[in-house]
Chain A
């Protein structure tokens, strides 16, 4: 069964450092998303990406965040200057050209120290 792959599974970074979280969506999917989940809290939407541009972003997704699809397979989330409150699980998701089946990756646990 096709899956969304995320790397790394766990990243520890110093406050103020830049991090890049990587995702390989399902190959024929068109819509790409990043969500995050702070420990014990709801899964929260960050950003959606379609046709090589951001289609929607949440209030969380400020100037410190950016997304990129540098080639035909990867989808990345960059945090320029990490804060302690950025510590969370970050999930990438993708879907095809229908409302069916948003597929999530296993996540990257980001720990900012």
Chain B
């Protein structure tokens, strides 16, 4: 069964305190790994797609990396506006539905 697991479930950071979120996956025929940001009561907002091991993508204070079994989302010097739930998701080869992890709730305190 396809599984996407995220850790930790929640993360409390002080402003400027860098940290990393983990996403491990077992999805057969994986075609990419997606990171989304979700604010309360809103839909997932696309951040990154990673396709191959060793690939890295950056956007402002966020950097996503991918290995064969897991992906990391690094948050460098976070600000309070980075507070959100970060979701990773993997599409299957056939049908391309996304399997989501449970998310990591990040709270950045000033």
Contacts and interface: CB of A to CB of B under 8 A. Distances in A.
Partners in one complex: yes
A95 B89 CA distance: 15
Given A33-B97, A91-B44, A100 B87 contact: no
A15 interface: no
Nearest to A6: B43
Contacts of B87: 43
A70 B41 CA distance: 28
A4 B42 CA distance: 12
Contacts of B97: 33, 45, 48, 56, 58
A104 B99 contact: no
A36 to B, nearest CB: 11
A66 interface: no
Majority-rule SS of B interface residues: loop
Contacts of B46: 101-104
B95 A104 contact: no
B100 interface: yes
A17 B88 CA distance: 34
Contacts of B32: 99-100
Interface residues of B, number: 24
A45 B43 contact: no
Interface residues of A, number: 28
Given A43-B87, A99-B49, A101-B49, A48 B96 contact: yes
A102 B100 CA distance: 13
Contacts of B99: 45
Interface in A13-71: 31, 33, 35, 41-45, 48, 55-56, 58
A104 B45 contact: yes
B78 interface: no
A3 B39 CA distance: 16
A56 B42 contact: no
Nearest to B100: A43
A56 B95 CA distance: 6
Interface of B: 31-32, 34, 36, 41-46, 49, 51, 87, 89, 91, 95-103
